[in-house]
Amino acid sequence: MIKHVVITGGSGFIGSHLIARLLPLGFKITNIDITNPRTLTTVATSLYQHTQDLEYLPGDFRNRLVIRSALEKADAVIHLAGSYNNGAEAIQTNSYGSRFIFRELARHSHHLKKVIVASTSQVYGEGEHCCSACELSFFGTRKTSDLEQKKFDVHCPRCGSPAIGLANNEENGRAPSSVFAKSMAAVEDTASEFAFHTGVSTTILRYFNVFGSGDWRNNPGKEILADIHQNLLNKQHIILPEFGNCSRDFIHVFDAVEITLTCLLADLPELTLLNVGSGNARLVWEAAEELSDICGIRGKSLQTSAFTPGEPRSSYAETSQLKKLLGFKPRTNFRQGLEELTRYSGIMVDAA
Ligand SMILES: [Zn+2]
């Protein structure tokens, strides 16, 4: 039975919601993070004062002393820490960092019952597309030279017509196209090797666009709804790249946490790959409209031809594995999720 869970990156957005969910269930938790959660105002901050079951261990997960002392008593590890950076820092923290932490996990594999690793939907790159005219399905690509000419659609390699983005399926392979996405693919590969060599049940979770209250990451462009919300509150223009016509799979953090918790408790095979998404593709401009409607603030949307190389045109999750393995269906619909995001926005900010 799993009693003691080590969480890396537990001060972050998903981590703090996860801790708030796990503690009342009786788990003992050690949060390893470089950011002291007590300097923040997240959903989990107040819990540190009220329970012996939650411990904060300051430091980087790549610090040998820190990770070793935490792992001594762990039954399970949830590795959420990483870098969203799209350069050398991602390679250092994610690619090399995962090699380090999994080597340490292997030393403790005799008493670890479960390892869960955060990955990202970005490992799919543009993902699978199909052309209805040619009845052809293929992995999409977009050239920066096309994006510069405002040609944002993925085109059929045979007839050149715009192709339709399909749901990203866990079994269909990956096509990471940014440094960040490639660094996360490396994390997945290291986790798979670990599972193969140690036999410890390992689950790789590919989080899609997780949103909700307490997303204090000061990382413009990383979670689009948090950005839009911040701009609405600050009465700034909302910049919608690719004329707002790219689509994303938005999943509320409560559902993302529920999936993570279910994986922790479920009897899963040696290696499991799972999408953490709602299964719905939503146009970014529509999401922005709905959010400004709920906020009651008419933001000025600027639908621009800006783009970020490596960001996909369309992205949504195939969720049949979630249903099959975990019996999971998302509980928070998009509008309820947005309401939760705005309701707590006032207090869920960095108080440091
Ligand atoms: Zn075609």
Contact 43, 213 (CB under 8 A): yes
pLDDT of residue 218: 52
pLDDT of residue 224: 84
* Local structure of 88: helix, strand or coil: helix
Full-model pTM = 0.94
**What separation in Å is there between the alpha carbon of 144 and the centre of ligand 1?**
21
User: What token pair was written down for 253?
Assistant: 């953090």
**What separation in Å is there between the alpha carbon of 165 and the centre of ligand 1?**
13
pLDDT tens figures, 292-330 = 999 888 777 788 898 988 889 999 999 999 999 999 989
Q: Is 191 exposed, middle or buried (0-12, 13-18, 19+ CB in 10 A)?
A: buried
pLDDT of residue 164: 94
pLDDT of residue 289: 92
Indicate the DSSP class of residue 36.
Answer: -
**What secondary structure does DSSP assign to 122-144, as a single string?**
GGGTT-EEEETTTTEEEE----H
> What mean pLDDT do residues 234-243 have?
87
**What separation in Å is there between the alpha carbon of 134 and the centre of ligand 1?**
4
pLDDT of residue 215: 75
pLDDT of residue 38: 87
**What secondary structure does DSSP assign to 163-183, as a single string?**
PEEPPB-GGG-----SHHHHH
Range with the poorest average pLDDT among 38-42, 261-265, 271-275: 38-42
The more confident residue out of 176 and 239 is 176
Whether the predicted pLDDT of 348 surpasses 60: no
**What separation in Å is there between the alpha carbon of 137 and the centre of ligand 1?**
9
Backbone angles phi and psi of 73, in degrees to 5: -110, 10
* Local structure of 296: helix, strand or coil: coil
Contact 57, 32 (CB under 8 A): yes
The more confident residue out of 225 and 169 is 169
Q: Is 76 exposed, middle or buried (0-12, 13-18, 19+ CB in 10 A)?
A: buried
pLDDT of residue 220: 47
**What separation in Å is there between the alpha carbon of 60 and the centre of ligand 1?**
49
**What separation in Å is there between the alpha carbon of 142 and the centre of ligand 1?**
15
**What separation in Å is there between the alpha carbon of 156 and the centre of ligand 1?**
5
pLDDT of residue 346: 45
Contact 260, 18 (CB under 8 A): yes
**What separation in Å is there between the alpha carbon of 178 and the centre of ligand 1?**
26
pLDDT tens figures, 130-144 = 999 999 999 999 999
Contact 176, 122 (CB under 8 A): yes
Range with the poorest average pLDDT among 108-117, 186-195, 234-243, 309-318: 234-243
**What separation in Å is there between the alpha carbon of 333 and the centre of ligand 1?**
35
The amino acid at residue 255 is D
> What mean pLDDT do residues 135-164 have?
93
Can you list the domains of the chain with their CATH numbers? 4-126+168-215+249-280+314-332 (3.40.50.720), 128-165 (no CATH)
**What separation in Å is there between the alpha carbon of 246 and the centre of ligand 1?**
21
The more confident residue out of 349 and 10 is 10
pLDDT > 90: percent of the chain: 76
For residues 18, 76, 80, 30, the Cα torsion angle rounded to the nearest 10 degrees is 70
Whether the predicted pLDDT of 168 surpasses 50: yes
Residue 295 CA to residue 338 CA, distance in Å, equals 9
Contact 187, 105 (CB under 8 A): no
Is the C-alpha dihedral spanning 174, 175, 180, 186 positive or negative? positive
Whether the predicted pLDDT of 351 surpasses 70: no
**What separation in Å is there between the alpha carbon of 131 and the centre of ligand 1?**
5
pLDDT of residue 347: 38
Which of 168, 282, 183, 306 is closest to 225 using CA atoms? 282
pLDDT band at 216 (very low <50, low <70, confident <90, very high): low
**What separation in Å is there between the alpha carbon of 251 and the centre of ligand 1?**
32
Is the C-alpha dihedral spanning 221, 226, 231, 232 positive or negative? positive
pLDDT of residue 84: 84
Residue 290 CA to residue 338 CA, distance in Å, equals 8
User: What token pair was written down for 202?
Assistant: 């390992």
**What separation in Å is there between the alpha carbon of 159 and the centre of ligand 1?**
4
**What separation in Å is there between the alpha carbon of 164 and the centre of ligand 1?**
10
pLDDT band at 199 (very low <50, low <70, confident <90, very high): very high
Q: What is the mean pLDDT of the chain?
A: 91
**What separation in Å is there between the alpha carbon of 328 and the centre of ligand 1?**
36
pLDDT tens figures, 82-116 = 998 888 999 999 999 999 999 999 999 999 999 99
**What separation in Å is there between the alpha carbon of 312 and the centre of ligand 1?**
20
